[in-house]
Chains A and B, each alone.
Chain A
Amino acid sequence: MNAAIPAVDFAGVDFKRGERTILGRATFAVEPGEFVGIIGGNGAGKSTLLQLTMGLLAPSRGEIRVFGAPPRATHGTIGYVPQRIELDPDVPLRARDFVALGVDGAKFGIPFPSARRRSLVDAALADVGATPFADKPAGRLSGGEQQRLAIAQAIVGRPKLLLLDEPLANLDLSAAAGIVETTARIARERGITVLLVAHDVNPLVRYMDRVLYLANGRAAIGAVDEIVNEDTLSRLYDRPVDVLRVRGRIIVVAGDA
């Protein structure tokens, strides 16, 4: 792979919904193999950014490249993990059937048993620590377990880029920590670039290479200490912001405008 080509490249990207500017002049590049956390408040455009990367939305202006190609042509190179999967408890799928959809679920026809698919699924289940419940009904697993299945489904097709949309939102602290640790380990072992959207920077600090902070339609990318400080965030938010460090945790307090 040519190291000169970024995994994700946004060049002057605007995105408007009606009159509202969700993203303005967003310019940044993510290098292959990087783990980048995308942080921002509600409506800051975090999910929009992922949808633009997948080509499900088109930018109002500017250009987006994923491994040098337009986003529309990237099927198979991107794995996507939604905020949560809502499975009906009675859906007749085992955990492994759910994960197997990530291998060839987009292809037409009926899946016939295949040793290759089975070994891919087994490897993905093992990577996310889901082997113990691989043959249980998927709909009856806990939220954290289902989240692991969603990650397994996203990585089983050997993507080069993994996008996670608020995977921690419905999890308690220890389950969230487990998901981040698992994601980071898989990304390292399989050489996958990761964009992970989250509300809170803290669960990600130990694992991510850089942070992409979104506020007011603007984006700033850099190491955690370069971005999550009072100067940078105050500039981004257009108002005074305090960054407190309490017992190793980072707390961002935005003042009045």
Chain B
Amino acid sequence: MNAFFASPNVEAALVASAIVAALSAAIGYFVVLRGLSFAGHAVTDIGMTGGAGAMLAGLDPLVGLIAFSVGAGAAVGAFGERARERDVATGLVLAFALGAGALFLHLQTAFANAQTTLLFGSIFDVAPALLRVVAAIGVVALAVLTALYRPLLFASVAPLAARSVGVPVRTLGYAFLIVMAVAVAETAQIVGVLIATALLVGPAATAMTLVREPLRGIALAMTIGIGISWLSIACAFASFDLSRGAQSWPASFFVAVITLVVYVAARAFRERRA
């Protein structure tokens, strides 16, 4: 276990994952409240195309991730009011973006591992420079969310009433989608595009099952998120240790599975209590 804390890679992984988990959980609370799980997932996946495109163009993948995620967030917002139409349109734009991502990855033969790194993350490989970027973006995004908190909550649960007292409901919806896009792009950079949804939706939905009050719920969600990501890192590290360095299990696997287990357990707990 000493090796665990001594390793600088592990330390960077713990810090970075705590930042993205806390941010994802806070934003995820509103994602679940607004029924945007699919949109949230789509935005991450579309970010993959951006990441792959940026690599193809010789840029930092984070730039492409954020650019495409934010664009996708705005596009999802523009699809308008009707839930079912949003469902289909989100799905098809997502499918096309994934197709384009597949093409970019296909064209880019330079790194064989780029594809899986982008898709499934590389949490033990966080460079100090990236850590600083992640921290800065995380602080800004959380600050924006704090500023938006009250009107956003109102607009999420009672849009018509909120509009009647002068809350700019539509603008707020867009602003939120963009903050969400930044958050998931950042998370994707750490845990991988395909798993970012887990930290976005899982802790928030779990907290919502257990606690009714929003602020306490968000705090609990952040705690659960950080707990899940640290536990996952520990498990991944242990799997490396247990196999004597021969083969380690990806942290992404643990994040995804632990998130699902925690959510199912929370629901079972609530149903037993009810």
Residues of A within 8 A of B (CB): 88-90
Contact = CB atoms under 8 A, between A and B. Distances in A.
B150 interface: no
Contacts of B82: 88-89
Contacts of A88: 82, 84-85
| Interchain residue pairs A-B with the least CB separation, the first 4 | A88-B84, A90-B85, A89-B82, A88-B82
A6 B84 CA distance: 44
Contacts of B84: 88
A89 B84 CA distance: 10
Interface string B11-51: 00000000000000000000000000000000000000000
**Chain A at the B interface: SS class:** loop
Interface in B76-91: 82, 84-85
A238 B178 CA distance: 55
Contacts of B85: 88, 90
A106 to B, nearest CB: 24
Contacts of A89: 82
B156 to A, nearest CB: 21
Nearest to B274: A18
A104 to B, nearest CB: 26
Interface in B88-129: none
5 contacts: A88-B82, A88-B84, A88-B85, A89-B82, A90-B85
A41 to B, nearest CB: 22
Interface string B192-220: 00000000000000000000000000000
Nearest to B84: A88
A88 B87 CA distance: 12
A112 to B, nearest CB: 29
Interface string B44-85: 000000000000000000000000000000000000001011
Nearest to A91: B84
Nearest to A86: B84
A88 B84 CA distance: 7
A90 B85 CA distance: 9
A88 B85 CA distance: 9
Nearest to A89: B82
A89 to B, nearest CB: 8
Contacts of A90: 85
A89 B85 CA distance: 9
A169 B85 CA distance: 26
Interface string B150-179: 000000000000000000000000000000
A57 B82 CA distance: 32
A93 to B, nearest CB: 14
A90 B88 CA distance: 12
A176 B84 CA distance: 29
Nearest to B87: A88
Nearest to A18: B274
A88 B81 CA distance: 13
A139 to B, nearest CB: 10
Nearest to B88: A90
B150 to A, nearest CB: 29
A90 B82 CA distance: 11
B92 to A, nearest CB: 14
A90 B84 CA distance: 10
A90 B87 CA distance: 13
A89 B83 CA distance: 12
A63 to B, nearest CB: 29
A244 B84 CA distance: 46
A251 to B, nearest CB: 28
A88 B82 CA distance: 9
B20 to A, nearest CB: 37
